[in-house]
Amino acid sequence: GESVGLHLPTLSVQEGDNSIINCAYSNSASDYFIWYKQESGKGPQFIIDIRSNMDKRQGQRVTVLLNKTVKHLSLQIAATQPGDSAVYFCAEAQKLVFGQGTRLTINP
Amino acid sequence: NAGVMQNPRHLVRRRGQEARLRCSPVKGHSHVYWYRQLPEEGLKFMVYLQKENIIDESGMPKERFSAEFPKEGPSILRIQQVVRGDSAAYFCASSPREKEGYTFGSGTRLTVV
């Protein structure tokens, strides 16, 4: 069946550094992906999305890269701040499949 | 301009009781999705509903679980005869169109004692 997974369950970065969170998917027909941020005790919050007709999309301090050849996408957060501490999920939106999540911790 | 409202935020039930979780979608959204999240895990899709119709219930356990989204009122996820393994956070999302533009609620944390 389809799966969306993440390479690392945890990621620690220094405040001010850039963070890169990776995600792999299995269904080559997947064409729409969303990154979510979930803080403790809260619901997932939309960060950015990307469709398969693009390989890069930028938002405020975030960039999503999509590599369809290897079925991989990444979320890059620039100048990571303490408020970025959360669990980050990628989701294949057409089939409503979420990855396991990467917990991002910011070191002062 | 309220988002997705879920209630209650916390629900405690004894084994064998029924749990009813409510989800009011964003105004104007006619698509509702329910997810379950165990501690330190991702969100698992349960069911996708459109007004008065179940579109996809492939993630819903075959027994004890049911969902509805009536013409009027919130969507309801109902769990009958709860067991300890049902303890989890249940999230609802809504969207204006099929499978895009999702907005999530803050979840209902169900504890079965």
Report DSSP letters for B17-38, one per residue.
--EEEEEEPPTT--EEEEEEE-
Find the range with the poorest average confidence among A65-74, A87-96, B65-74: A87-96
Q: CB within 8 A of A58, min separation 6: which ones? A: A64
Q: Identify the band that residue A8 occupies on the pLDDT scale cut at 50, 70 and 90.
A: low
Q: How far is B105 from chain A (nearest CA, A)?
A: 6
Cα A93 off chain centre by: 13
Strand partners, A90: A35
**How many helices (H) and strands (E) are present in chain B, helices listed first?**
0, 11
The partner residue sitting opposite A93, judged by closest CB among B44, B99, B103, is B99
A101 contacts in chain B (CB < 8 Å) = 41-42
Distance (Å, whole) CA A90 – CA A37: 9
Cα A12 off chain centre by: 15
Q: What pLDDT score does B8 carry?
A: 98
Q: What pLDDT score does A2 carry?
A: 44
Distance (Å, whole) CA A33 – CA B102: 12
- Are residues A108 and A82 in contact, defined by beta-carbon separation less than 8 angstroms? yes
Chain A: residue whose CA lies nearest to B97: A94
Whole-number average pLDDT of chain A: 89
At A10, is the secondary structure helix, strand, or coil?
strand
Assess whether pLDDT exceeds 60 at residue B102. Answer: yes
Here the contacts of B56-61 (C-beta below 8 Å, separation 24 or greater) are B56/A96
Cα angle vertex A25, ends A22, A30, to 5°? 125
B107 contacts in chain A (CB < 8 Å) = 42-43
Distance (Å, whole) CA A89 – CA B40: 12
Residue located via tokens 């509702």: B32
For an interface test with A, the pick among B23, B33, B43 (most A C-beta atoms closer than 10 Å) comes out as B43
Assess whether pLDDT exceeds 90 at residue A95. Answer: no
A100 vs B: CB within 8 A? yes
User: Is pLDDT larger for residue A98 or for residue A79?
Assistant: A79
The partner residue sitting opposite B43, judged by closest CB among A32, A45, A98, is A98
Assess whether pLDDT exceeds 90 at residue B56. Answer: yes
At A57, is the secondary structure helix, strand, or coil?
strand
Identity of the amino acid at A19? S
Q: What pLDDT score does B57 carry?
A: 94
Whole-number average pLDDT of chain B: 94
Chain A: residue whose CA lies nearest to B92: A43
Cα angle vertex A84, ends B91, B99, to 5°? 35
- Answer yes or no: do A94 and B104 touch at CB < 8 A: no
- Please compute the mean of the pLDDT values over residues B17-45 and round it to a whole number: 93
